[in-house]
Structure 1
Amino acid sequence: MKYKENHYVPCWYQERFLPTTGERKFRYLDLAPEQFRDPNGILRTKTALRRWGAASCFKETDLYTTKYGQYESTDIEQFFFGKVDEDGRQAVEFFSQYNSFNDFSGELSPDKVFNALLNYMSIQKFRTPKGLRYLSSLIRQTDKNRLLLEIQRLQNLHCALWTECVWSIASADDTEAKFIVTDHPVTVYNREIFPGSDYARTHTDPDIRMNGTHTFFPLSPTRMLILTNLSWARNPYGGGKKLRPNPRMFRTAMFNFTDIQTGRQLEEVEVNQINFIMKRRAHRYIAAANEEWLYPERKIPSDHWRKLDDRYLLMPDPRCLHLGGEILIGYDNGRSEAYDEYGHRPWQKGYRKKLKGDESRTLYAFQGEFARLFGPRRRGMNDNFGGRKPNDTDSAEFHRYHLDQEKKNLPAGLKQRRDARSV
């Protein structure tokens, strides 16, 4: 029956990572190949690396088929995931080429592509074998029919928090290695939660409500969307496991397209570090057009989970950030709405709460540390403050200003860490 072979990573998405010419096949790696006994009773391991096209990768038979007695239904695959993939495909393509807000023109709606991408990513995080296990632990339910219904009910679970993140799109145009595909492509990284820790094993992924959790998603072999909690981008010196302000998930949230950072060119080691994180967070399978990209651990200086973030691997450029961020909306009928940068409404506790001194100081200190680490050239630009600048390099005077801010504002207890990053 049609729709019974279910690709939990859609074929259209996989094909984005294959060459446009020549052989369109992946090097498809099984991270936990099964063992078997041959006719002589000798224990052997199945081949781990295969050469397969997208139609053969990242799929399970009847993964989304619901069964009620002898009756089977493929409606969820056909109608629910079909619509999600149709809208998501257009959104992924758009953001893979996004450079600035000026990219919106004609009939293309910012709201439509933004909501389609968020919805696709949120559902993609659930629809994989790893995601279904996570959902099962979340709702304490093992019945597959119930899990598939809950995906539809909880499909926007991650969207409000991702909306309030700092968005950046990084590029691997200038590197030999490109991004791989995994069986759990919406990946999260928290430097304080190691893959083998009790939390990661129990809950599958670090909680996106935690300050230090980055979410990232490959849009193409050369474009990576990275979402960082604003509270972490303002203060990466605090606890990465602490919950961000206003961590409630099902609510309205506002997004400012002019805040999206683009233009960051990744270095070779950074692409391999990102691929390494994706490989470690995968459930069982990864794929790439080039076999070498499947083994990023061979190309990085350290595979220590926390050390991967020693030079703020996934962080947006804090020099593009600012304090405040309240959004006011007026309607033709006279009604108005307001949101602060963490999604609080005027009647809610915490709305426009005066910034604690440590958050403003840590942002200024972080801007200075970033300037010292990477020099006056920005690692991302956005459309704020009068539009995108004609170049991405700060003047000598502005660069000195940022360097002075680190000296003035870096908390005393972090001097040793600052010196260590200078080595």
Structure 2
Amino acid sequence: MSTGYRHNHYVPEWYQKQFLPAGTTRHHYLDLKPDRRTSNGHSFLRKNLHFWGPKQCFAQDDLYTTRWGHVENRDIEKFFFGHFDTTGPKAVKHFANFQFNSDAGEALTTLLPYMSVQKLRTPKGLAWLRKTFKTRDRNSTLTQLQRLQNLFCAIWGEAVWQIADATHSATKFIISDHPVVTYNRECFPGSRWCIGENDPDIRFAATHTYFPLSSDKVLILTNLNWARDPYQNPMTLRPNPRFMRSAALFKITDIQHERHLTEEEVIEINYITKMRALRYVAAAKREWLFPEKYLRSKNWRKLGDGYLLMPDPRHIHGGGKMFVGYKGGRSESWSEYGHRPWEGGYEDGARQEREWAAMQKFKTEWAATYGPDYRGVLYDVVSHRDGVRRSMGEEWHREECERDAHYIKLPGEQARRRKLRR
């Protein structure tokens, strides 16, 4: 049997290289749980800090090898993960250098499944799959991963997206062995939500998901109901929390971008990354691996004064129902939370009133705290009526923007699935 595809990177080499400066070929690589060895009757911990290239980092032999009796099969690495590692780089680079152009739709529908698979393919993600779905062995866990490849897409597609920028910070983003990171300010390290393979549920209202795109850019996803109402119980499930739903729509011009992070904010994000890692973190500079040394406070709830990852609420609006008409007269509709017209929650006046009141209060408090400058911007559009370039963040411009907005259908339960390989 060929030994090809045996050395399995659960964080791909191409992705790791996004975090290395030009001319640099190795990471500072920190083992948070070094093994204890015994030699000549003496017990000692292995070295915890290394200086390795991407080929050696975040990899494990036969992580994706299935065994059927005496037969080994590595087709999952070759074909399934091979597909994502072929299509993923272009999508990640598109959002790292975000532009609203003809490539945006393909980049979005590639990035969401890529992130979903990336969250599941790590040792931490595979352990979570085994525990959650009670799979018997590696073969069934890997089969389950392929079946659930779009598990998180609907939830993330209905979130508020922002792309934050560390260009103005001397410290850059680090990466971990579980690079799709979840943070909930009420799920502190050591809580039952953060032990071992556990992560805060992405459907909890206050859970943010973020994914470093490069050393300077990070994609942050925030549940819409939290961005509208941060006064609610952070552990409440968001509306319509069901995974693996049919595809909904995404308004790509609502992505908040050009939020420039302070160095303190970058260090705080790196601290979360390190605390949510299972075992390994890597950085271009050694000192970036120890963000805890440079923090004013390690209080989990107060990072960024409690709003480190929060998008600017002044860009958020109420409502959000989406309607699509097709040739032949057929039409479809979704609520902002993905409900269909026949489902409970599609029309929920009480929720809308509650969110509207909380959102207006939050916008007022935010402006008083952070001042008149917005945290990031939405994509500018050109009015076809008068040719004037205007910001989509301005209330008076919304009707025109809705008419000019671009919506993209998200991958979901009904998306075509690649053949499962064993």
**SS at the partner of 2:93?**
helix
Moved more, 138-147 or 119-128: 138-147
Residue 192 of structure 2 contacts residue 198 of structure 2 at CA under 8 Å; is this kept in 1?
A: no
Higher helix share: 1
User: What is the alpha-carbon distance in structure 2 between the residues aligned to residue 9 and residue 238 of structure 1?
Assistant: 35
CA positional deviation for 1:391:
8.0
User: What is the alpha-carbon distance in structure 2 between the residues aligned to residue 280 and residue 273 of structure 1?
Assistant: 11
Match of 2:305 in 1: 310
1:294-318: CA deviation from partner (whole Å, max 9, x where unpaired): 0111111111211215241000000
Give the partner amino acid of 2:43.
L
Residue 315 of structure 2 contacts residue 393 of structure 2 at CA under 8 Å; is this kept in 1?
A: no
Distance 1:294 1:389, change over 3 A: farther
TM-score, with length taken from structure 2: 0.88
**1:296-375 counterparts in 2 under 5 A?**
296-354=291-349, 355-375=351-371
**1:2-151 counterparts in 2 under 5 A?**
2-21=4-23, 23-39=24-40, 41-99=41-99, 101=100, 104-105=101-102, 108=103, 110-151=104-145
> Larger RCO: Structure 1 or Structure 2 (Cα < 8 Å, ≥ 6 residues apart)?
2
Aligned to 1:381, which of 363, 377, 383? 377
Where does structure 2 lack aligned partners over 5 or more consecutive residues? Answer: 395-422
Distance 1:181 1:246, change over 3 A: same
1:268-324: CA deviation from partner (whole Å, max 9, x where unpaired): 110000000000000000000100110111111111211215241000000001000
User: What is the alpha-carbon distance in structure 2 between the residues aligned to residue 38 and residue 210 of structure 1?
Assistant: 47
Moved more, 236-245 or 364-373: 364-373
**1:247-326 counterparts in 2 under 5 A?**
247-251=241-245, 252-326=247-321
**1:160-239 counterparts in 2 under 5 A?**
160-201=154-195, 204-239=198-233
User: What is the alpha-carbon distance in structure 1 between the residues aligned to residue 380 and residue 129 of structure 2?
Assistant: 38
CA positional deviation for 1:352:
2.9
Residue 177 of structure 1 contacts residue 272 of structure 1 at CA under 8 Å; is this kept in 2?
A: yes
1:229-249: CA deviation from partner (whole Å, max 9, x where unpaired): 000000111111100001111
CA positional deviation for 1:43:
2.1
Moved more, 379-388 or 191-200: 379-388
**SS at the partner of 2:221?**
strand
Distance 1:326 1:385, change over 3 A: farther
Give the partner amino acid of 1:38.
S
User: What is the alpha-carbon distance in structure 2 between the residues aligned to residue 383 and residue 199 of structure 1?
Assistant: 36
**SS at the partner of 2:208?**
strand
Distance 1:302 1:57, change over 3 A: same
Moved more, 126-135 or 302-311: 302-311
Residue 174 of structure 1 contacts residue 265 of structure 1 at CA under 8 Å; is this kept in 2?
A: yes
User: What is the alpha-carbon distance in structure 2 between the residues aligned to residue 90 and residue 365 of structure 1?
Assistant: 40
**SS at the partner of 1:328?**
strand
User: What is the alpha-carbon distance in structure 2 between the residues aligned to residue 300 and residue 81 of structure 1?
Assistant: 37
User: What is the alpha-carbon distance in structure 2 between the residues aligned to residue 59 and residue 24 of structure 1?
Assistant: 16
Residue 377 of structure 1 contacts residue 393 of structure 1 at CA under 8 Å; is this kept in 2?
A: no
User: What is the alpha-carbon distance in structure 2 between the residues aligned to residue 220 and residue 54 of structure 1?
Assistant: 15
TM-score, with length taken from structure 1: 0.88
Pairs aligned (count): 386
**SS at the partner of 1:28?**
strand
Match of 1:421 in 2: none
Residue 378 of structure 1 contacts residue 392 of structure 1 at CA under 8 Å; is this kept in 2?
A: no
